């Protein structure tokens, strides 16, 4: 059955200036022969993934919740406009009780089978003061699932961007400190070397999903740095799409593919065999030889009636 893709009517809800910029960007993509764009949205729970999906589509297409009770399944929303199709995939948070939710990850992988990811939108909050091991675990889980290459197709979106940094810290300075800290932990979780060109090229963009977002004189939603964030986000998505790196096609091989834990397991029989030949066998040999050549201890020669069961100890 041919899939009927809905018209991307949500664009019409944006300020006219924003609409113009978005249509321009879609035109640019079509000009580069990109007629379909699939964005995968990932991150921890409650950071604003679903809200960001709604903001981009311009409709309330996925459920948002302040209480991290996300559905267990990913949702793909498709919209088309002037011969261009946008697919955006919202996913459940990857962390549960301080650990990676392997089941959620597995469901996401299966959902993505035979799909091609053009852009990974990694979402976190701007108004957070520290990065922790969980961020690293999420980056690692994404890398283990899709391969390092996914980070060539990634951008980081920081939500709650209408925010006043503490202690009178300038907004731009807070933004760059927060970005750097997050990039560092993502790189380490993704095992990207610091000097690799990939490291500096993951763009970070700001997002404000709240209905109370400030607007400029053109009625566009703007952030404390003055930027209209929707066109900027879509522009960055366009740049990542056209950056020349390969999109990630999710096939059966990738889904079942070399999980680092399993790769490790392949070595177990070999290590056991080596242990047998190089450790256990020689030791046995030594012991046998030892027993054979053992000179009788003096007490034994003295009391010749001593039974030999004592040797069984060895």
* Cβ–Cβ under 8 Å, residues 157 and 114: no
Contacted entry of Mg ion, ligand GDP, none for residue 48, CB cut-off 5 to 8 Å set by kind: ligand GDP
Interstrand relation of 116-117 and 248-249 (parallel, antiparallel or unpaired): antiparallel
Query: What are the residues facing 170 on neighbouring strands?
Result: none
Chain residue at closest Cβ approach to Mg ion? 50
Q: Does 104 bind ligand GDP (CB under 6 A)?
A: no
Q: Does 50 bind Mg ion (CB under 5 A)?
A: yes
Angle between the 133-146 and 102-111 helix axes, to the nearest 10 degrees? 30
User: Applying CB under 6 A, which part among 24-32, 64-72, 232-240, 300-308 lies near ligand GDP?
Assistant: 64-72
Q: Does 207 bind ligand GDP (CB under 6 A)?
A: yes
Question: Which position among 101, 152, 179, 209 is part of the footprint of ligand GDP (CB under 6 A)?
Answer: 209
CA angle 110, 92, 153 (to 5 degrees): 70
Interstrand relation of 99-100 and 95-96 (parallel, antiparallel or unpaired): antiparallel
Question: Which position among 160, 178, 187, 221 is part of the footprint of ligand GDP (CB under 6 A)?
Answer: 160
Question: Which position among 38, 50, 145, 238 is part of the footprint of ligand GDP (CB under 6 A)?
Answer: 50
Backbone phi and psi for residue 122, each to the nearest 5 degrees, phi listed first: -95, 120
The percent helix, strand, coil of the chain (3-state, each to 5) is 45, 15, 35
Q: Does 208 bind ligand GDP (CB under 6 A)?
A: yes
User: Applying CB under 6 A, which part among 65-73, 130-138, 228-236, 257-265 lies near ligand GDP?
Assistant: 65-73
User: Applying CB under 6 A, which part among 19-27, 41-49, 144-152, 252-260 lies near ligand GDP?
Assistant: 41-49
Please state, in angstroms and rounded to a whole number, the distance separating the CA atoms of residues 44 and 48: 9
Residues in touch with Mg ion (CB under 5 A): 49-50, 70
Residues in touch with ligand GDP (CB under 6 A): 45-51, 64-66, 68, 70, 93, 159-160, 207-210
């Amino acid at each position: 059955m041919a899939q009927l893709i809905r018209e991307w009517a949500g664009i019409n809800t944006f300020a006219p200036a924003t609409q113009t910029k978005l249509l321009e960007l879609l035109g640019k993509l079509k000009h580069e022969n990109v007629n379909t764009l699939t964005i995968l949205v990932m991150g921890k729970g409650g950071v604003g993934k679903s809200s960001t999906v709604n903001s981009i589509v311009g409709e309330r297409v996925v459920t948002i919740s302040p209480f991290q009770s996300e559905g267990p399944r990913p949702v793909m929303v498709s919209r088309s406009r002037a011969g261009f199709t946008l697919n955006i995939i919202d996913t459940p948070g990857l962390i549960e009780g301080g650990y990676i939710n392997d089941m959620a990850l597995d469901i996401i992988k299966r959902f993505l089978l035979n799909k091609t990811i053009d852009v990974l939108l990694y979402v976190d909050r701007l108004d957070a003061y520290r990065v922790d091991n969980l961020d690293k675990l999420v980056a690692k889980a994404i890398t283990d699932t899709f391969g390092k290459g996914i980070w060539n197709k990634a951008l980081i979106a920081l939500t709650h961007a209408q925010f006043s940094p503490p202690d009178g810290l300038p907004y731009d300075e807070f933004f760059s400190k927060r970005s750097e800290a997050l990039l560092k932990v993502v790189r380490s979780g993704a095992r990207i070397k610091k000097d690799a060109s990939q490291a500096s090229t993951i763009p970070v963009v700001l997002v404000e999903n709240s209905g109370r977002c400030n607007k400029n004189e053109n009625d566009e939603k703007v952030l404390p740095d003055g930027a209209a964030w929707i066109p900027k986000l879509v522009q960055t998505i366009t740049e990542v799409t056209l950056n020349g790196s390969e999109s990630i096609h999710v096939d059966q091989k990738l889904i079942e593919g070399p999980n680092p834990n399993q790769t490790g397991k392949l070595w177990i029989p070999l290590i056991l065999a080596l242990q047998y030949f190089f450790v256990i066998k020689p030791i046995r040999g030594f012991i046998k030889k030892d027993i054979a050549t053992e000179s009788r201890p003096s007490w034994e020669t003295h009391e010749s009636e001593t039974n030999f069961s004592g040797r069984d100890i060895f």
